[in-house]
Structure 1
Amino acid sequence: MTETAATLHARCLALFQAGLAAADPQTAVGQCLLVEDDRLKIRLAPESERCRGGEWQKIHLIGFGKAACAMASAARAAIPRHKLAEPGIVVSTYENTVAVAGCEVLAAGHPLPDQNGLRAARRIVERIRAVPAGDLILLLISGGGSALLPYPVDGVSLADKVAATQLLLACGADIGQINCVRKHLSGLKGGGLVRLAAPADLHALILSDVLGDDLSSIASGPSVADDSSFADAIAVFQQKAVWDKVPGPVKDYLEQGAAGLRPETLKSGDPLLKSTSHSLIGGNAVSLAAVERAAKSLGLPTRVYSHNLRGEARQAAEQWVLDSKTVLDPARKQTSAMLAGGETTVTLTGSGSGGRNQEMALAFALAAERHGLSGRWCFLSAGTDGRDGPTDAAGGIVDGDSLARMRRAGLDPQAALNNNDSYTALKAADALLISGATGTNVADLQILLMYPY
């Protein structure tokens, strides 16, 4: 069957939707909460027979992240009403905030923390400290939770912490490096919530936005041990050659911590962890597998290019173009699919607008032209949360005609890439993927469909 550009475009979008559906937070939460004889049982993993139970008097819902509202709604639907301590507290981004019955819903800033986030964090700390022994704190954690709950350590202001985060984002630090620093500047992250929760029990349902599902990195690990150190946090800034730009109070606190004058994050083996457990209910690997199943169900020869796509977005895009040229079989008159999941980075050197997925889409189109990628193709790169960087787009979807459309609009796509202005270039080519807030966040998905002429 001959594939038109419009058909490839529609198929890319349909496959992306399959990945989003697999990350639906309400379904994931519902699968893990069971009630037997008026007693709550929590699966330790979706479809697992292993469960945690307890004779808890009351269950306190505390949710934070881009999927917090949907997760809280699902939890309330599963747990008997008389077991719930109301109101629950839910913190999400401005675009993902919706009313949840029986819950105090608060909106806060992301990716940079704001004063509303600070107020929300203080509200959660106040609530958790008041929970007695014999009750359960059920944490509902999803992507974005780290920025949404800023709770700076003594001596460091929110403005200092924001400046440090902006510094890391601008120099291309990955999420693990950013979270290492965040944990050492926070009273909640790096196991801080475990300390606050004692003597109550604590269980976390976690929707992962971190590749490899490292629990200490998801929302900066508020409910698990952290084995990084103050020295590691300092090293992040030094490796990126920005230590001299770090705000003074942040630098002082980290140096005092490295000298043993400030308390470290919660470490493995701490007795407080005995009353804490978690369930990983979804992540990027689950969504990528769903995209793969959907592609195969269409009869497409399908290959997972990467389960862990990282590095500079434009470099990753160029390598993918080079690798894709060895996969396309001109003798086969059939569309093939190459898929990936991951989270690339962008080192800002220009003054334009965009995000890592938009930059990757633009870079892919330029690399495809430069290296002569043959056939008809369509490439999609998008964030599952519906927001790519500080823009209203989830990412970009480009094809072999995208650069021509940009040039007809009077734009130089290479100059736009050099200026980190992928948003403007893609908009001119009608190549932005705008989905709106999705209510979930499991990192990014990439889809390449190729059809030989």
Structure 2
Amino acid sequence: MGTVRKLRADALRIFEAGLAAVDGAESVRRAVLRKGDDVLISAFDAELRVNLSEHDRLFLVGGGKAGAVMAEALVESLGEDAISAGAITVPLGSERPDIPECIEVFGATHPLPSDSAVEGVRRMLELAEGASERDLVFFLLSGGASSMLPLPADGITLADKVETTKQLLASGATIDEINAIRKHISAIKGGQFLLAARPARVISLIISDVIGDRLESVGSGPTVRDTTTFADCLEIVRRYRLSRRLPASVMKRLRDGARGKFSGPEDMPDKVFERCDNVIVSNNDVALVACQEAAESLGYATANLGSRVFGEAREVAKVMVGIAQSCQARGYPARPPCCIISGGELTVTITGDGVGGRNQEFALAAALHLSGTDGIVVLSAGTDGIDGSSDAAGAIVDGGTAARGAYEGMEITDYLARNDSFSYLDAIGDTIVTGRTGTNVMDIRLVMVDV
């Protein structure tokens, strides 16, 4: 038990190090440096230079789970005097008092869009449409923006978008597939914000929450060319048997678009994108490397499996437990004590009516396969602090999780069948609760192994 307690404590410390590395405010501060009128924007392989004296006005717009702290940090980096006006959408309750009054803040909900967020997007477009060739627009984008930057296309209501999102989330579709449909029923996604902003210069600062950092999928790419089509959307509908579950207005738009009755975001001309730069300032890999460094500082050998792990949470849990057992038995891919690190984003096909999310589903499934074993601890948590429909970020489990639940009269298989992972894990104290973190770079999974 002493070994398990230490593994659990170290796993939490390593997770916290990963979170700190991708803090939304710090990510912007690292990337944006102003000296006089010169602004250097540098992150990963990107480097941009902007001279503020060449621009008459500077607008700040955007949205996402890190929207408030990103805006606060950008104002700090550029100076409040540099900002002419702005509008951002942020999670309800995360409004920041240090954001200047010239930036309007609109509360938004996630994962389902809200009326207040629609109002915020309309204000952003008003500012963009009033921008001239000598104006500069900063667009701050982070995970969650697909639901927090809603503006339904003609013929689609907000209620239609809400129902579409519900059905897509429950279907087991990947985030790329979900966002493909979102873009084709939206008036801002898929690069369409740039239609309003032309001819102003636009710089997007992006915290990526998608596998492979595909820019068109982060927040459904309001400043990025879309490569999906209406035909792709209909294929996604067919794949997940959604044609009778999506609103009639949505199906009509997708079918009419596929027939060529009107153009989609993918048909926008190249000139729309000529004055836009998209810069990733943080991503899942940054968090995983920080976890790796923290684990090694604590004396663990590490194996970083990277940020491209995907699949059904329960199935991936089997694989990760198998890797842990291989470490114990054969010292491969790492010799204990070791920490196996992975990121990315898993999916859950919902068949029950319980409370939980992909991280807790993964953890509870892992606990089922760990039952009775010693020396292995599994942590899985979302970097945004919210996992699915619960108030937890994720969970941390070990070989005794099943026994602790059984003592309370609970069986893991019953709770998995209901997609009710939170209720099980919370009852035995295995959930991780962080509150909103001010960032979102997908998930962190840690498998701690000792002999």
TM-score w.r.t. structure 2 length?
0.95
Q: Determine the structure 1 residue equivalent to 2:233.
A: 233
Q: Is the 8 A contact 1:57 1:134 kept in 2?
A: yes
Distance in 2 (alpha carbons) for counterparts of 1:127 and 1:287 = 34
Residue 337 of structure 1: how far off its partner (Å): 0.8
Query: Taking structure 1 as reference, are residues 260 and 245 closer, same or farther at Cα in structure 2, changes over 3 Å only?
Result: same
Amino acid at match of 1:313: A
SS of residue in 2 equivalent to 1:212: helix
Q: Determine the structure 2 residue equivalent to 1:442.
A: 441
Q: Determine the structure 2 residue equivalent to 1:65.
A: 64
Q: Which moved more, 1:51-60 or 1:102-111?
A: 51-60
Residue 57 of structure 1: how far off its partner (Å): 1.4
Residue 293 of structure 1: how far off its partner (Å): 1.1
Amino acid at match of 2:185: L
Distance in 1 (alpha carbons) for counterparts of 2:252 and 2:336 = 60
Distance in 2 (alpha carbons) for counterparts of 1:115 and 1:92 = 13
Q: Determine the structure 1 residue equivalent to 2:188.
A: 188
Q: Determine the structure 2 residue equivalent to 1:270.
A: 270
**Does 2:153 match 1:153?**
yes
Q: Determine the structure 2 residue equivalent to 1:313.
A: 313
Q: Determine the structure 2 residue equivalent to 1:423.
A: 422
Q: Determine the structure 2 residue equivalent to 1:94.
A: 92
Distance in 2 (alpha carbons) for counterparts of 1:184 and 1:47 = 31
**1:394-413 matches, cutoff 5 A:** 394-413=393-412
**1:51-450 matches, cutoff 5 A:** 51-53=49-51, 55-86=54-85, 88-99=86-97, 100-102=99-101, 103-267=103-267, 270-329=270-329, 334-369=336-371, 374-450=373-449
SS of residue in 1 equivalent to 2:211: coil
Q: Tell me how large the CA RMSD over aligned residues is.
A: 1.9
Distance in 1 (alpha carbons) for counterparts of 2:285 and 2:33 = 25
SS of residue in 2 equivalent to 1:165: helix
Residue 46 of structure 1: how far off its partner (Å): 4.6
Query: Taking structure 1 as reference, are residues 376 and 61 closer, same or farther at Cα in structure 2, changes over 3 Å only?
Result: same
SS of residue in 2 equivalent to 1:113: coil
Residue 385 of structure 1: how far off its partner (Å): 0.2
Distance in 1 (alpha carbons) for counterparts of 2:77 and 2:370 = 49
Residue 333 of structure 1: how far off its partner (Å): 9.4
Residue 154 of structure 1: how far off its partner (Å): 0.5
Q: Is the 8 A contact 1:32 1:47 kept in 2?
A: no
Distance in 2 (alpha carbons) for counterparts of 1:53 and 1:188 = 28
**Does 2:35 match 1:36?**
yes
Query: Taking structure 1 as reference, are residues 241 and 333 closer, same or farther at Cα in structure 2, changes over 3 Å only?
Result: closer
Residue 80 of structure 1: how far off its partner (Å): 3.4
Distance in 1 (alpha carbons) for counterparts of 2:190 and 2:297 = 42
Q: Is the 8 A contact 1:192 1:266 kept in 2?
A: no
Residue 95 of structure 1: how far off its partner (Å): 4.1
Residue 235 of structure 1: how far off its partner (Å): 1.0
Deviations 1:4-57 (A, max 9, x none): 3222111111110111011112121112222233233333x2585553556111
Superposed structure 1 runs of 4+ greater than 3 Å apart: 46-54, 266-269, 329-334
Amino acid at match of 1:70: V
Q: Is the 8 A contact 1:354 1:420 kept in 2?
A: yes
Distance in 1 (alpha carbons) for counterparts of 2:44 and 2:69 = 17
**Does 2:24 match 1:25?**
yes
Residue 296 of structure 1: how far off its partner (Å): 1.2
Amino acid at match of 2:95: T
Q: Which moved more, 1:235-244 or 1:27-36?
A: 27-36
SS of residue in 2 equivalent to 1:96: coil
Residue 268 of structure 1: how far off its partner (Å): 7.6
Distance in 2 (alpha carbons) for counterparts of 1:269 and 1:202 = 16
Distance in 2 (alpha carbons) for counterparts of 1:403 and 1:450 = 18
Deviations 1:373-424 (A, max 9, x none): x432211100000000011000111111111111111111111111111011
Residue 334 of structure 1: how far off its partner (Å): 4.8
SS of residue in 1 equivalent to 2:249: helix
Distance in 2 (alpha carbons) for counterparts of 1:15 and 1:267 = 45
- Aligned pairs, number: 446
Q: Is the 8 A contact 2:226 2:266 kept in 1?
A: yes
Amino acid at match of 1:51: R
Deviations 1:58-117 (A, max 9, x none): 21111300111111111111113332103x212111143323223222111100111122
Distance in 2 (alpha carbons) for counterparts of 1:337 and 1:67 = 28
Amino acid at match of 2:79: P
Distance in 2 (alpha carbons) for counterparts of 1:366 and 1:305 = 22
SS of residue in 2 equivalent to 1:381: strand
Amino acid at match of 2:61: I
Amino acid at match of 1:96: S
Q: Is the 8 A contact 1:134 1:200 kept in 2?
A: yes
SS of residue in 2 equivalent to 1:260: coil
Unaligned runs of 5+ in 1: none
Q: Is the 8 A contact 1:35 1:78 kept in 2?
A: yes
Query: Taking structure 1 as reference, are residues 276 and 330 closer, same or farther at Cα in structure 2, changes over 3 Å only?
Result: closer
Amino acid at match of 1:177: E
Q: Is the 8 A contact 2:160 2:249 kept in 1?
A: yes
Deviations 1:264-311 (A, max 9, x none): 104586111111112110001111111011111112111123431211
Distance in 1 (alpha carbons) for counterparts of 2:80 and 2:436 = 29
Distance in 1 (alpha carbons) for counterparts of 2:336 and 2:108 = 47
Residue 429 of structure 1: how far off its partner (Å): 1.4
Distance in 1 (alpha carbons) for counterparts of 2:257 and 2:335 = 62
